[in-house]
Every structure is written in structure tokens, then in C-alpha cells.
Structure 1
Amino acid sequence: MDYLLFIVALLLVLAIADLIVGVSNDAVNFLNSAIGSKVTTYRNIILIASAGILAGCFFSSGMMEIARKGIFQPQHFTFDKVMWIFLAVMLADIVLFDIFNALGLPTSTTVSIVFELLGAAAIVGFLFAAEKGEAIGEVMKYINAESTFSIISGIFLSIVIAFTAGVAVQYVVRSAFTFQYENRLKSLGAPFSGMGITVIIYFLLIKGLKGTTLAQADWVGTLNENLVVFILLILVVTTAISFWLQRQFRINPIKIVVIAGTFSLAMAFAGNDLVNFIGVPIAGLVAYQNWAESGVPADALHQDYLATSDVIVPTYMLGIAGLVMALTIWLSAKAKKVTETEISLSKQDEDGSDDRFKPNTVSRRVVKTAMLLGNVFDTVIPRNIKRRYDLSFERDKLRKATQVDQDAPAFDLIRAGTNLVLASILIAWATSLKLPLSTTYVTFMVAMGTSLADRAWGRESAVYRVTGVLSVIGGWFITALFAFSVAAFFAFVIYQGVLATAILLSMVVIYIVISNIKFAHRERRSKKEKSRLSLLEEPDLDVYIRSKNTLVTMIIEASGHYSTILNGIRNGDASAIKKADDELLKLIKYTYKLKRNSLRAIRQLGAADRRSAEVIVHGADLIQDMLQSAKFLSTESLQYIENLHEPLATGFIATLEGLGVKMDKFFTLVINQLNEDDGPNVSLIRKSRNEIREFINTNFGNEIDLIRRKNIGSKQALLQTSIFLQSRDIQAVLFRICKIYGRFEN
């Protein structure tokens, strides 16, 4: 096969891969509001979004200028050089989005394609100029600098505008509806829904149909001439329909807004952002067809054709792309992970901070500054307005709006509707003015702005959420830098010839395979952790029983790891101890979530259940103590073996074996007694505890005498005494757990 034909075929294959990784990231744009508010089932939400994607693909605006000539000047490049640029861009795009998807962070397809084209074209232009002996000053002719600056500045300006608009609009909407919006729905629901649906229809007309073949029809011209009248007519009709549905069938009209908004954003995304994924491969295909017909050598045919000709994507390709995109949002685990990130950062629950984002100095300073500004605004805003707004945030109303139930929505329909309607307005407005923006940046920052206005960023979670938002925004700037540099590097490698290109392709394939294997491993680990926490959220059991089941499960896991550590010490098996050490570290991290979830769970208990609440909180704290003792033992044992210290004496190994047997029996007794319906038999457990404590104390004393009489190394002495001390701490904690549950249940 001809090398250039192979590149064309490879570009088309990469287009499918780019659709998969790109949609996995961009799905958050149109899914997060519907999923976060749980307007309907997840299956129905995906069906609605899939329908929007398929519709948008067939209304696609064709070949976007960015992919063809918006960033670089194709007329200055020969055909082979353009193909190298396109191949570098597609490879860099796939790697970039796979990284962001694995991290669960949303980023922009538009920004990535802009900077990838810029980086690849810049390096190829530089090498091409050097090859022809041109002066350094001539290099800039290969880049469309004016267009690039306009696109970049417009995209990043949209971040500030979207966030500010989100805060301001949600402030007004929440003041009107309050959190208990059912009381205001009768009077405000229909007008709000009518306005929202009207905006969405306008959004579809301006954003969805712009540049399509339908936009050339006569009725579209008539519509544009009478746009104000048409919009007012739609407003009246949709408001009347919403009012009728609300009164006649008791349908919440805001649900219609959220569903329609999800469809419209999915349609606009597919219709306009689709070319971010397939625009470059299609441009490569068109350029190849033109070259094949020309009969001119590839290194002699300049691409005036790409610079001057309008190219439309074939309909069958749009259909294939639509199917791939729809299947991706159904099947992609990474798409769900990106969606979870945005929802966790905007959820109304004050305790719902995303633990992946650790607070730092910047986030703390931002929160402190925001608090100071809040104090300033308090002095400026009229008291009656402030008092009226504060009524929406009374403690009892917030508690009802932020249920701790696992199935509760992350935020209500009011916020979801505002997110979708406001994002639609901003995107439609920018499109009508021919201003470039990123749909990802707009939808994300609107969601963050509305959550801030809803006081979802309380003192409990503000610093974590600010860290998360700053991480996402920082990731956007990294997107630009990464896209430019990686695409430039890939283009440099491809410029070196066929062998270098083959090596690069192999490396990219290997990376993608390894990345997906690691992601699958992390997801399995995450599911295991979620399954532990789910014990605390089983709806069929009361809070006390759920907490107790979780604690017993933790003791069972700790028992297994303790046995592994002792066996590893006896056998000198560092790998087994390392595995137990890693698992104990994960369990300790999990206990922080367990303690937080336990505190949230006891809110479901009544005032008469104070004793139950104390047992739940105390039990979670004790299990953390036990795991920390086991972790200290595993770390010290691992260091001793890995550092190749003296083997332990045969007599101590025998003692260790006896300790393991006794501790295993004690773990089993505790687990069985905690599972008894009438509670643990504390007397029986005390008797067993006394026996094992006597064994530990006797051998610990013998060990001390041995250290005094013989010249045992300090490392060995430290390990051997630590084994007894940490084991004694573990059995003491187990007994205390049984005591608090025994006293309560008996």
C-alpha cells in the first residue's frame, strides 16, 4: 500500500478512536444536569441524549474552518507535509483525551484541536522552511496567527462570563423559587418552563441549524426576518402548554425543560463539535483525492485546494459518526467518570466534597478572599433583599434539599433547568455573533456558578470544591500546552520518515492499551470501595444495623491482612507483606470516608436514638485505630525484610506461629459474636482476651529479658517487640468494640 494512502486509512481509523475518547469526555456537557437532578432514569437520559446526537450529526455544519484553514495556511504546505500535520494532530488528540478521561476531568475538544494544529503546523512549517533554505522570519507565514489569537482569547473569556452569569442568574432564580419550590411551582412553573423551552428552541435554530443545508431554505430566511415575533409566539404557546400539563396531568413542567435542554445540547454538540473529531481525517481524505487526481508529486502539490474550497462531510460518514458517539455514551466507563467529577463538584450536599482533590494554599487563599468579599457584599446589598434570599437557606429547608439518601439527586430541577437554559443562551448568543467558545468550558463554569449561588459550597466543602474547580481549569491550560507540545513532537518524529512514524504509532498503541488496563484496574478497586460504603446505605436495613455490618466486614478484611503479615514475617515473604501493606493503606483511607458517612447516616436517627449514634461513631473510630496498628506492623515488617536484616531466631518464629493461631481464633470469635442477634457475649470474649493477653505479655517479657542478656541487633529487637505491642493493641481494640456493642444490645 502507498505510504500516503496508508496515512489516509489510518486517519479514518483514528477518527473512530478519537470519537470514542472525545465523546467520553464531552458527554458531561449535556448529561450532567439531567443525571445530577435525576429528572428521569439513567437509561432514559442516555436515550434522549443519543437521539440528540443522531439528529445533530445529520444537521452537522460540515467541514469546520478550524480543521481546514483556521489555524494554519495550507496553501504554503505541500500535500505530504499537510498529511503529516494531520496524522500528528490525531495521534496527539487521542493521547490527550485518554489522559483526561482516565483522570475524570472534562476538557475542550475545540481547544485541543486548535493547539494541536498550531503545534504540528508550526514545527512542520519550521522544518519545511529550513529544508527550502527560507529565512526564519518566513516561518510565520505558515500559521494563521490572527485567527488563532481570536479563537483562543474568545474561548478563555467564556470561562469568566459563564461563571459570572451562572452565579447571577441562579441567585435570582433561587430567590424566586426557594428550595421548597413546590410551593412556588403553581405560579412560577409555567412561565419559567415556557421561557426555558423558548430559549432552547432558539438555541437549536441559531446553534443547531447554523451552516447546515437547512439554513439555506426559504423558510429559514423568513424566520430570521421575523425572529422577534416568532420567539414571542413560541413563548406564549410553550407557557400555555406547560400550564395545561401542570394543571391537567400534574406534570412538573421544569422536567420538560431539563429533558428538552439535554436533547438540544446533545444535538448542538454533535452538529458542531463533531468536526473536532472527524474534521481533520476528512480534510486528509479530501486532500488525498485532490492529489490523486492531479498527477503532481506529493512533495510538489501545494494545498491551495484546501485553502479555497468548501468541503462537506458525506452523509453516510455523519451517520457512522453519530452511531459511534451514541454507543460511546452508552458503554464508556470513562464517560461516567468524567460526569461523576462535575456532579460531585456541584452537588448540593454540603458534605459532598470530592476527596480526589486535596486542598492547597491557592484554594485556601481563594476561599478566604471570597469570604472577605462576601462580608463586603453584605454591607452593600439592601437588608430586605438579603433577608428574603436568606429565607431560601433556612436550616430545615437545606436539610430537606440535601438528603443523605444514596438515591437522592445531587441538586434539584430548578438548578438543572438553569444550567441548561443559561448554557444554551450563552452558546447561542456567541454563535450568533460568530464568537468562538468552548461548549465544555461554558457548561462546566455555568454549573459551578449556579452551585456557588445555591450555597452548595459551604464551609464544610468550599476549599475542596475550589481545589477541584481550579484543578479542572488548570487542566484546561495544560490541555493547550500539552496539545501544542505533543503534536509538535509527533510532527517532528513523523517528518523523519516511515521508520520513525512506525515506531511512534507502536508507542501510541502500547500507551493506549496500558492506559485502559490500568483504568480498568482502578475502576475495579473503586467499585470494591463503593461496595464497602454501600453497606452503610442499604435501604432495607436501619442505620445501626448497616453500620454494624460495615464494621464486621472491615474486621474480616483486617483479620486476613494480619495473618498475611505474620506469615510473611515467618517466611521472609516481602511481596505478601507489601500487598497487605497496600491494602491496609487503602482501608485506612477508606475509614475517613466511613467516619464521615457514619456521621451523615446518624442524621436519619431520631432524638431518642442518641445511644445508637454514639455506638456508630465510636465503632468507626475504633476500627480506624485497629487498622493503623496493623499498618504500623506491616510497614515495619516490610522494611525489615526488604533491608535484608538478620533472619529471626527459630524460637521466635515458633512463638510467632502460636501468636498467629491465637489471634486468628480471637478474630473469629469477635466476628461470630458481633453477628449474634442478641449481641456479643462480652464475658466469653473477655475470657478469650485475657488468655491471649497473657500469652502476649509473657512472651513480650521474655523478649525484653532476651534483649538484655544477648547482643540482639536494634532493628531485630524493634521488630520483635513491635509485633507483640501492635498485636496487643489490635486485640484490645477488638475487645472494646465488642464491649460497646454488647452493652448497647444486651
Structure 2
Amino acid sequence: MEQYYIFLLIALFVLAITDLTVGVSNDAVNFLNSAVGSKAASLRTILIIASIGVAVGAIFSSGLMEVARKGIFNPGEFYFNEIMIIFMAVMITDILLLDLFNSLALPTSTTVSIVFELLGASVAVSMIKIFSNDGQLSDISNYINGSKATEIILGILLSVLIAFTVGAIVQWISRMVFSFHYQKRIKYVGAIFGGVAMTSITYFILIKGIKGVSFIPDSFLEFVDGNKLLIVGICFLVFGLISQLIISFSKINLLTIIILIGTFALALAFAGNDLVNFIGVPIAAYQSYEIWHQSYLSSGVLPTDFAMDSLSGKVETPTYLLVFAGVIMVVTLWLSKKARSVMYTEINLARSGDGAEKFQPNFLSRLIVRASVNMNAGLNLILPKAWREKIDENFRIPMEKQLKKQDEPAFDMVRASVNLMVASILISTATSLKLPLSTTYVSFMVAMGTSLSDKAWGRESAVYRVAGVFNVIGGWFVTAIVAFTAAAIFAVIIYFGQEYAVIGLLIIAALLLTRSFLVYRKTEKEKNSKKKIDRTSLITINEMISESSDNISRVIGNINNIYSSVIDNLGLQDLKKLKKTKKQLKKLEDDVDSLKSDIFYFIKSLDENSVGASKFYILILDYLQDMVQSIGYISKNSYSHVNNNHKNLKFNQIRELKRIDLRIQELFDEVKVDFDSDSFDNIAGIIKEKRELLDYVSSLIQKQIDRIRSTETSPKNTKLYFSLLLETKDMITATINLLTLFKEFHDDFSRIKK
């Protein structure tokens, strides 16, 4: 009996270590984004500052893990064995849920996940107890603290509305003061801005950051709480003076200092206060085991008979566990690639300018953007022309910054400072007023609000960015629903399955985490394999030919694979593999669409001697898109035919298509080899072979016409077969046109070089 619970404890602590890594990977977004997005310092320096904040916050935390022991449920209503079931269900759910969000590169709240997991698991166990004892559903209030869940949901809504609105207003005022030429204006207003920013961040550290630090006496915290205005006033004067001295007598950028201090403050608060979300449950389980085990040794009470009233008291976490947790968090911060993915999702939504968008527009985002455009037009009619010109002047980005380099900051340091300053003010104010605001939600929505008012969301990108914000906010509510449901299901499984269920769920969790890691690594390799040219360095004709060659090789290789797969699986009527081919097609379409989206930046960055060649690049992409559209019709029509359970193509038709496929494979392989090696001498021969293949496809069209007149009886088969032949013909024609264009351009350029 003891061995079973010792096994559960070991499993819980292994899960806790895993939870620390996946949790930090998600929450790192809160304190890294502003510094990384603005490139206030090197990534190494930013990580060092954040690591110090995380380490200090974790090591000196008092470790009062209240939420895991009594925040959600009343422990006195549960027996020891039931408490362990709840904790095990919670930890398995938390790891899988947070890893899912990390894999999707979406930030979510670890507080919301742990609260609703505890709520779901405890509700499930409570319901089992109630129905086992023939109780009433209303008895659930004896077991569960329902007000906590309501508080968390209220926190989501408050965070979204307040943080977004305040962030937008403060950023608009800051931009009016500094404009995008802040290096000049900071000499005059920098002392005031620095005083406000550093005061707000310091106040945040005093109110939120050191709230859980063990060696800070309660008397000091009471003094801070009772003398807020005095502390704020003194800090403003001191930091304002320091800011002016930095501006006047040093070459240090004041905004860099503000951003790094803010990063440290948020990292400190994260580790000091959110540590409970990762290790609170295993520690509560360990404390529960100690309480029961002492009673078991003295009185022999069984786990199924021992009520956990004692868990309601205050029990501090051992310091060595906090040190261990701090080390894991710091290591994860440096090594986790998923943390970078989550971080860059928010940076991408907040960045200035256009580029590749991760999220697709939806009805709601289009509606809001359209309403904003109309409202802006109305304001322009009301505001005097002089006011509009003054506002536009302050929000006008300098020409040299409009074409952004790949390593340029996503936004400037004014916005980064405002992000940290506003987030600090809101979180510390809410904490002092005991309002349920979420650190994650505040940090994210402030960043989105400042992006909007800073005109980072222009007409070209607004509909995508707004859709992205709705996706993230929707994910927050999904977190609560999924956390509650999954934890409840796992708790029921463990309750009835006991140790077999625990072992089974642990194995499933390990397999899912492993699969997630492998899929993520594969995705990252695919991203890294795509060569991207720097759109801001001057591009020569040589570089244009080289990139066009890479694009042609990559697209033709993918088309070749998709075509062969469709023909093979169409003959086998394999719906599952045809559906998989459609997913490959979607990636190819996105790839070509991304290339076409970059045409503006590509032409902008051509050197003067190469501008005339831009038409060549545009036509190359146009032919590639024609080829992709043809293979798209082939794939989708084949899938639809099989999915609708129509008759299979006849043996002769499949054989003819396979012959085309084999010849296309040979020719496309030749093209790929030539373009991969930058050797274009064989293009003329390939074009000749493709023309012969084109004639063969035309002969098959005539052959099918003859069949219809004699033996063909299926209209659906005829429709599919003709569409496959015609789209194949179009694909070959587009390929011939592309190769001809490339050969002529390459030959002309070679003659000019000579």
C-alpha cells in the first residue's frame, strides 16, 4: 500500500520537472518579448537579466503553495487516496495542455490551466462521492470553492479590456511626445519618462515581485502598502534625476536601462508568484503523504479513511526544492526552442510593418477592421487639418526604417518601454486592490494595444493581426474548458483503474510528449531548410538567378512528389493518403504565396543595374503558381472523386496516367538536378522532351474521346479523366514556358557578362 503512494509521489515529481520546462517555455513570453522584440540588448544579455530575475524569484520565494492545497477545493471533504487521484490527474493534464500550446506557439495562462485542472479533477471525484452516497447534486458546494473559477474568468475579461485600452492610450501619448525620432526628443522629456517608467517598475517589484520573498518582513510590506503615494513620489524624483544624469553625462541609452530593469522585474514576479503553477501540486501531494503516513504509523489508519483536514494549514516549501526548481527554470529559459516560438508569435503580432502573417483573417477580424477604418474616416472629417498633420508627423516612420532588414527590431524601444511600464502599473495596481488580473493576459494585451495605437497594424496587416489576437484570446478560454474536462476524465479513469490506469496514462503522456517533440523538430527543420534572401540588402542579377533557381527546384520537387502520390493512390482508391496529399499541397500553395507576397520587398531591394530584371522574377513566380494551381486541381478532384465513392477509373486509364507520371518524374528529376547544381546547359533538351510529353497527353485526350463514342459508360469517370489530362497538359505547358523564360534570361545575362 505504501509502495503505491511512493510510486505516485515519484511520478508526480518527475511530472513536476517536465511541467517546469513546458510551463517556463510558455510563460517566458511575458518577460522576454519587449526586450527581444526591440533588440534593446543582445539575446544573451537579455537571457542573463531574465535568468537572474527567475533565479532570485524562485529561490527566495516563501513557497506557500495555497492554491494547490485549498484554493479550489475543501481538503477536509476528501480522503488521502482521493487527494492523490486529484493531484495525479492535474499534473498529467497540465503537462499535455501546456505542451500543446507551446507546439502551437500560443501563449496561455499557467494559472488558468492549474486552477481549472484542479477544479475539473476535484469536481469529478466529488461527483463520484456524492452519487456513491446517494447524495444530492447541490452537495457539490461542500466540496468545491466555485468562487475561484468565477474569479479567474472575470480576470480574463478584465485583463483583455483594461490592458488593451490602457496600453493603446499610453502608447499614443508616448508616440505624440517622442515620435519615431525619439533620440532627439529624449533630451527634453527623457527625465520625466524615465522617472515614470522606472518608478512604475520599482513599485511593481515592491507590490508584486517581492510579495512572496521569504526574508522580506511583513512590517516592510505593511509600510509599503500604507505609504504608496510617498514611495511613488520619492521614487519619481530620484529616478527622474538619475534619468537626466544618464541622458546628459553618459552615452548609455536610457530606454535600454528601462527595458532591462522591466525584464528583470517581470521575471522576478513570474518566478516568485507563478512557481505554484508548476510545483505546487507535487509538493502538496508530498505534504499530504507525510501527514497521512505519520497517522498511519501511529494509528494504522487507511488512506481511504484518512480525511485531509490538516492540508488546510500553512506549510512552507523546503528551500532546496525552490532552489532546484529555479535551476530547472533558468536552464529551460536558455535551451527551450518552444519558448522562442511562443515568444515570436507575440512579437510577430506586435511588429511594425508587413511580412508573412501566421493567422488567417476571419469574419470578426474583417468586421472590426472595417469598422475601425470607417471610424477613422469619420474622425478625419471632424479633426482640423492642422491637427491631423501634426498627428501624422509624429507617427510617420522615417524612410530608412520603412524597408526593414531581417535583423531589425520588430518595434522600437519607446514601445518596448511602454509595454513594460504599463504592464507593471496594471499588475501591481490590481494586486494591491486584490483584483484578479492575469500576468500573461496583461502582458499580451498591453503589447497588442500599443501595437494598434502605434499604427503597427496598417491596412495591409490589420485583418491578420486582429485575427491573431482573437485566436490567442480564444485559446485562453479553450485552456479553461480543456483543462477542466481532461482533468475530470483522467480523475475518473484513475479512480476506477487505480495503479493500472496511472501507469497507462503516464505511458500515453510520455508517447504524446515524444511525438510532440519529434513533430516540432521536423517542422523546425522544414522551416530552416527554406532559404530566405535578405530583402533589404541590394540584390544583384546573380542573386536573383540563384534564388529563382532554388525556388524552381523546390516547387518542382514538391509537385513531382504530389503528382506521383495522387496517381498511385487514385488507382488504389486510398482516401486516407489522398487526404494526406492535400495537406502537402496546402504547404506548397503557402510556399508560393509567400514568395509572391515578397515581390514588393524584392523589387525595392534590387540594385539599379538589376531593376529591369524584376519582370523576369515576376513571370517565374507566375509560372510556378500556374503549375501549383494545376497540381491543386488534380489533387482536389481526385480526392473528391474517391470521397464521393464514384467508380474507379478503368485499368487502361490508370495505366496511361501512370505512364505520364513516370515520364514527368524523369523530366522533373532532370530539372531538379540541373537547378540544384546551377548547371543550365541541359534545359533545351528538357524542353524538347516536355513538348513530346505534351503531344502524348494530347493524344490521350483524343483516345478518351474515341472511348466515349464506343465503350465508356461513366460520366463521372470521364469528367475526372479529362480534368486530370487537361490539368496535366496545363502543368507541362507552364513548365515549358518557365524553362524557356529561364533559359533565355540566363543566356542573355551570360552574353552580357562576356
- Normalising by the residue count of structure 1, what TM-score does the alignment of the two structures yield? 0.88
Q: Where do residues 134-213 of structure 1 align in structure 2 (5 Å cutoff)?
A: 134-213=135-214
Q: Where do residues 434-445 of structure 1 align in structure 2 (5 Å cutoff)?
A: 434-445=434-445
Q: Where do residues 561-600 of structure 1 align in structure 2 (5 Å cutoff)?
A: 561=558, 565=563, 569=567, 583-600=584-601
Summarize the Cα distance change of 1:10–1:704 in structure 2 as closer, same or farther, 3 Å threshold. same
- In 1, Cα distance between equivalents of 2:480 and 2:658: 62
Summarize the Cα distance change of 1:514–1:398 in structure 2 as closer, same or farther, 3 Å threshold. farther
Aligned twin of 1:72: 73
AA aligned opposite 1:667: V
Q: Secondary structure at the match of 1:427?
A: helix
Q: Where do residues 713-732 of structure 1 align in structure 2 (5 Å cutoff)?
A: 725-732=726-733
AA aligned opposite 1:435: L
AA aligned opposite 2:128: L
Aligned twin of 1:389: 391
Aligned twin of 1:495: 495
Aligned twin of 2:344: 340
CA-to-partner distance for each residue in 1:521-565, whole Å, 9 max, x for gaps?
Answer: 354235424532x33337777165444333322332444456554
Aligned twin of 1:486: 486
- In 2, Cα distance between equivalents of 1:560 and 1:350: 29
Q: Secondary structure at the match of 1:261?
A: helix
CA shift, 1:134, in A, is 4.0
Q: Where do residues 552-631 of structure 1 align in structure 2 (5 Å cutoff)?
A: 552-561=549-558, 565=563, 569=567, 583-605=584-606, 610-631=611-632
Indicate yes or no: 2:547 matched with 1:550.
yes
Q: Secondary structure at the match of 2:181?
A: coil
- In 1, Cα distance between equivalents of 2:175 and 2:47: 28
Summarize the Cα distance change of 1:699–1:97 in structure 2 as closer, same or farther, 3 Å threshold. closer
Judge which range, 446-455 or 722-731, deviates more: 722-731
Residue of 505, 522, 525 corresponding to 1:524: 522
Contact 1:8 1:281 in 2 (8 A): yes
- In 2, Cα distance between equivalents of 1:285 and 1:242: 49
Contact 1:123 1:491 in 2 (8 A): yes
Judge which range, 157-166 or 224-233, deviates more: 224-233
Indicate yes or no: 2:470 matched with 1:463.
no
- In 2, Cα distance between equivalents of 1:577 and 1:298: 54
Summarize the Cα distance change of 1:37–1:184 in structure 2 as closer, same or farther, 3 Å threshold. same
Aligned twin of 1:412: 412
- In 2, Cα distance between equivalents of 1:483 and 1:567: 39
Q: CA RMSD in A?
A: 3.6
Aligned twin of 1:311: 315
Summarize the Cα distance change of 1:490–1:700 in structure 2 as closer, same or farther, 3 Å threshold. closer
CA-to-partner distance for each residue in 1:194-223, whole Å, 9 max, x for gaps?
Answer: 332222222112111114333316666666
CA shift, 1:159, in A, is 1.9
Contact 1:115 1:483 in 2 (8 A): yes
- In 2, Cα distance between equivalents of 1:734 and 1:567: 19
CA-to-partner distance for each residue in 1:112-136, whole Å, 9 max, x for gaps?
Answer: 2222222222232233234444444
- In 2, Cα distance between equivalents of 1:714 and 1:661: 29
AA aligned opposite 2:460: E
Contact 2:671 2:686 in 1 (8 A): no
Contact 2:85 2:491 in 1 (8 A): yes
Residue of 641, 647, 651 corresponding to 1:647: 651
CA-to-partner distance for each residue in 1:56-115, whole Å, 9 max, x for gaps?
Answer: 102224224322222222222232222222222222222221222222211111112222
Judge which range, 278-287 or 161-170, deviates more: 278-287
- In 1, Cα distance between equivalents of 2:528 and 2:669: 29
- In 1, Cα distance between equivalents of 2:722 and 2:153: 64
- In 1, Cα distance between equivalents of 2:140 and 2:565: 67
CA shift, 1:713, in A, is 6.6
User: Could you list the runs of 5+ residues in structure 1 that have no partner in the other structure?
Assistant: none
Aligned twin of 2:373: 371
- In 2, Cα distance between equivalents of 1:490 and 1:659: 54
Matched residues, percent identical? 39
Indicate yes or no: 2:309 matched with 1:300.
no
Q: Secondary structure at the match of 1:536?
A: coil
- In 2, Cα distance between equivalents of 1:653 and 1:167: 59
Aligned twin of 1:537: 534
CA shift, 1:449, in A, is 0.5
AA aligned opposite 2:474: G
AA aligned opposite 1:177: F
Q: Secondary structure at the match of 2:215?
A: helix
Contact 1:200 1:261 in 2 (8 A): yes
Indicate yes or no: 2:671 matched with 1:667.
yes
Contact 1:179 1:401 in 2 (8 A): no
- In 2, Cα distance between equivalents of 1:718 and 1:132: 66
AA aligned opposite 1:370: S
Contact 2:20 2:329 in 1 (8 A): yes
- In 1, Cα distance between equivalents of 2:375 and 2:535: 42
AA aligned opposite 1:513: L
Aligned twin of 1:358: 360
User: Could you list the runs of 5+ residues in structure 2 that have no partner in the other structure?
Assistant: 749-754
Contact 2:404 2:536 in 1 (8 A): no
Residue of 291, 301, 326 corresponding to 2:330: 326
CA shift, 1:586, in A, is 2.0
AA aligned opposite 2:487: A
- In 1, Cα distance between equivalents of 2:9 and 2:463: 48
- In 1, Cα distance between equivalents of 2:547 and 2:477: 42
CA-to-partner distance for each residue in 1:296-346, whole Å, 9 max, x for gaps?
Answer: 433333322222x21111111111111111122222222222112211211
Q: Where do residues 90-129 of structure 1 align in structure 2 (5 Å cutoff)?
A: 90-129=91-130
CA-to-partner distance for each residue in 1:33-52, whole Å, 9 max, x for gaps?
Answer: 11211222223222221121
Summarize the Cα distance change of 1:700–1:147 in structure 2 as closer, same or farther, 3 Å threshold. closer
CA-to-partner distance for each residue in 1:390-448, whole Å, 9 max, x for gaps?
Answer: 21233xx2654443322122111111111111111111111122222211111011011
- In 2, Cα distance between equivalents of 1:120 and 1:126: 10
Summarize the Cα distance change of 1:559–1:341 in structure 2 as closer, same or farther, 3 Å threshold. closer
Summarize the Cα distance change of 1:45–1:185 in structure 2 as closer, same or farther, 3 Å threshold. same
Aligned twin of 2:752: none
Judge which range, 263-272 or 358-367, deviates more: 358-367
CA shift, 1:472, in A, is 1.1
- In 2, Cα distance between equivalents of 1:78 and 1:627: 63
AA aligned opposite 2:310: Y
AA aligned opposite 1:392: N
Q: Secondary structure at the match of 2:652?
A: coil
Q: Secondary structure at the match of 2:176?
A: helix
- In 1, Cα distance between equivalents of 2:278 and 2:672: 57
Q: Secondary structure at the match of 1:55?
A: helix
